[in-house]
Amino acid sequence: MKQKKIIVCDAIHQKGFDILNAEKDIEVIDAVKLPKDELLKIIGDCDVAITRSSTDVDEKFLNAATSMQAIVRAGVGVDNVDQDGCSRRGIIAMNVPTANTIAAVELTMAHLLSTARSFTNANNHLKTERVWNREKWYGVELCEKRLGVIGFGNIGSRVAIRAKSFGMEIIAYDPYISASKVTDLGMNYTENFDDILGCDFITIHTPKNKETINIISHDEIAKMKDGVRLINCARGGLYNEDALYDGLKSGKIAFAGIDVFSKEPATSHKLLELENICVTPHLGANTLESQEKIAIQAAENAICAARGISYPNALNLPIKAEDLPPFVEPYLELVQKMGFLAAQLNKSAIKSIKIEAEGDIGAFAKSLLTFGIVGALNETTEDKVNYVNAGFVATEKGIETKAEALNSNSGYKNKITITLTTEKNVTSISGTVFGEDEQRIVGINGFKFDFKPKGKMIIFKNHDVPGVIANIASILAKESINISDFRLGRGAHQFAMAVILVDTDIDKKIITELTKLEACVWVEYAVL
């Protein structure tokens, strides 16, 4: 049997190399110290690559990797991996999402304590400047203080448990979990983000996406109590860094603990000029234990991928076109987009996901369900959901899933509908494919439409009264927002719904203005 080649592009713990080298059918190429331009010359016949943040899996890399079957990102973040590019080339992109959980939790606790007691400043004052001044370094106690936790997943929940043992009162905000996950731990769950802004300490543990970028900015900081302390060991950009700087400089924010920045390395960042901030250079996963775990999991996953056994934590498992009729593929892609859209319109803990497939596509209802689950859960969980683990993740979260094939009675040759039921609402989206691959959304919550599932869109439900379109257009025009398309659906009971496609991003201010319109029932912003 021909040996499979696994190339290690970036430094990993020796345990990972030991596991790889122990396999007789695996040839290991150590390219850790190789310049990146030289790396591109030798990856052409490699089957699997193990990378970290130092190697960009970009177009140049992928063009050179002509035999590559899989990429294993040894860590959680995959910002440096072109997943779409991997998919187009049939390369499976994987990560190692849980190996550094405890390391990230404990670093957050270190920053939490440092923001309370200014350990880093006191240390530098004594050790570097040789000044003994106890009066300068009065801090605050964690006991009986309120900690706001944004994001209550694997890391956020563990931080909360540890902080609770310090005597802190925990208030958690996470619209994508059941409240009982928090309250069962003797903590407080809130749906009102302002409750978080009223806390003494705030820490964030969310994915980085359009919902969470700049989730804390100038307006939010203005609502906070004077002397608040902020921690971010999750992703750079979740706190607006200009707003953070202004808040620290004014004293509104007493202290901040920051491990991540929007652009790294951040050696010349203006935040480093301030005294009331403790910074670390993205050390969330930097413990000996987590590095060992990451290397072991990355090596084991790479071996499985090289042998074609499985693709653990696959982020983009490609469709095996040879196993499916040609007409099925665009429906799989469409239902994932529909699930993603439904989750953006129905922001709450999901209780059930149902797929209904009419026509010939009904024979593939179970496959549609898998892709629908991936789309629905993709932005609502801390870890990535993929085609391999979708069913397991849904079961683990207590989400009921169902796929049903129906007779075609809607006038469409094939039609698919995904229905998301959450603790708050039910959202149903229908779609079809015209021709070979022309995807269309044809219904939302009973309102008929016909638009491509692509772009930036405002979904606006309103009482069906005169003047609504003009009022919406006026608000968008005032903010110089160009409307590229406007689709209107009218329903029973004197309601209407509009899908407004726009050319630029929509911020919270505009959504708030639209919500204030008298005819508005609800409004959401979504991106596909």
What does the pLDDT look like over 276-289, one tens digit per residue? 999 999 999 899 99
Q: Is the pLDDT of residue 21 over 60?
A: yes
Beta bridge partners of 14: none
Please determine, looking at this structure, whether the domain spanning 319-454 carries the CATH number 3.40.190.10. Answer: no
For residue 306, with 0-12 CB atoms within 10 Å meaning exposed, 13-18 middle and 19 or more buried, which class applies?
Answer: buried
CA angle 231, 237, 238 (to 5 degrees): 55
Q: Establish whether domains 4-99+288-307 and 319-454 are of one fold.
A: no
Active site residue 125: no
Candidate list 229, 235, 358, 382, residue with the active-site label: 235
What secondary structure letter does DSSP report for 522? E
CA distances, 276 to each of 68, 115, 227, 228 (Å): 48, 8, 11, 12
Mean pLDDT of the chain: 92
Under CATH, what is the fold of the domain 101-279?
Rossmann fold (3.40.50)
Q: Is the pLDDT of residue 321 over 60?
A: no
b/e code 253-278 from CB counts within 10 Å (16+ = b): bbbbbbbbbbeeebeebebeeeebbb
Q: What percent of the chain has pLDDT over 90?
A: 77
Confidence of residue 437 (pLDDT cuts 50, 70, 90): confident
Q: Is the pLDDT of residue 416 over 80?
A: yes
Res 525: pLDDT: 95
Mean per-residue pLDDT for 178-204?
97
The dotted CATH code for 456-528 is: 3.30.70.260
- 124-176 pLDDT, tens digit per residue, is 999 999 999 999 999 999 999 999 999 998 899 999 999 999 999 999 999 98
- pTM score of the predicted model: 0.82
Res 300: pLDDT: 94
Q: Which option is the CATH number for 4-99+288-307: 3.40.50.620, 3.30.200.20, 3.40.50.720, 3.30.1780.10?
A: 3.40.50.720
Candidate list 27, 282, 356, 358, residue with the active-site label: 282
Q: Is the pLDDT of residue 322 over 70?
A: no
Res 88: pLDDT: 81
Give me the residue label for tokens 């301030």: 274
Q: Is the pLDDT of residue 492 over 90?
A: no
Confidence of residue 307 (pLDDT cuts 50, 70, 90): confident
Q: Where are the domains of the chain?
A: 4-99+288-307, 101-279, 319-454, 456-528
Active site residue 269: no
Candidate list 264, 273, 438, 479, residue with the active-site label: 264
pLDDT top residue among 228 and 312 = 228
Active site residue 235: yes
Res 320: pLDDT: 58
Mean per-residue pLDDT for 46-51?
97
Q: Do β-strands 400-406 and 201-204 pair in parallel, antiparallel, or remain unpaired?
A: unpaired
Q: Are 56 and 80 in contact (CB under 8 A)?
A: yes
Q: How far apart are CA 187 and CA 160, in angstroms?
A: 9
Q: Is the pLDDT of residue 413 over 60?
A: yes
Q: Are 137 and 131 in contact (CB under 8 A)?
A: no
